[in-house]
């Protein structure tokens, strides 16, 4: 059964009106706890008529460099921070062929 670790994202990145967030969700696989991450990217803008802040998934061509920057920041966070946590998990040792030296295998 999956459950959100937080009601808030674990990381956010912004560039202009482009906002990206990393969400964390815990669940189990074969009785072992695992963490899955998902990404949400959206554009926030102020409606000129009402003055209210709104959100959209539609982007204009001049938003693309901002999107690239946000996506890169999210990826870096996942690889540098979250990746360290995943790298710290134990590895499984298997023997190849008839040799005697163990080879670590990432899960």
Q: What is the per-residue pLDDT for 81?
A: 82
Q: Which two tokens stand for residue 74?
A: 């999210």
Q: What is the per-residue pLDDT for 103?
A: 37
Separation between Cα atoms, residue 93 and residue 90, nearest integer Å: 10
Q: Between 3 and 36, where is the model more confident?
A: 36
Kindly report the average pLDDT of the chain as a whole number.
81
Q: Between 6 and 68, where is the model more confident?
A: 68
Q: Which two tokens stand for residue 37?
A: 């991450």
Tens-place pLDDT, residues 49-89 = 999 999 999 999 999 999 999 999 999 999 998 776 565 54
Cα–chain-centroid distance for residue 50?
33
Separation between Cα atoms, residue 87 and residue 16, nearest integer Å: 33
């Amino acid at each position: 059964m999956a459950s959100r670790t937080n009601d808030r994202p674990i990381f956010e990145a912004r560039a202009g009106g482009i906002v990206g967030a990393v969400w964390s969700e815990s669940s189990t696989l074969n009785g072992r706890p695992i963490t899955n991450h998902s990404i949400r990217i959206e554009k926030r803008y102020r409606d000129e008529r009402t003055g209210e802040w709104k959100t959209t998934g539609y982007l204009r061509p001049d938003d693309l460099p901002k999107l690239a920057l946000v996506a890169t920041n999210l990826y870096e966070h996942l690889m540098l921070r979250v990746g360290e946590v995943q790298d710290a998990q134990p590895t499984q040792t298997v023997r190849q062929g008839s040799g005697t030296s163990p080879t670590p295998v990432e899960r």
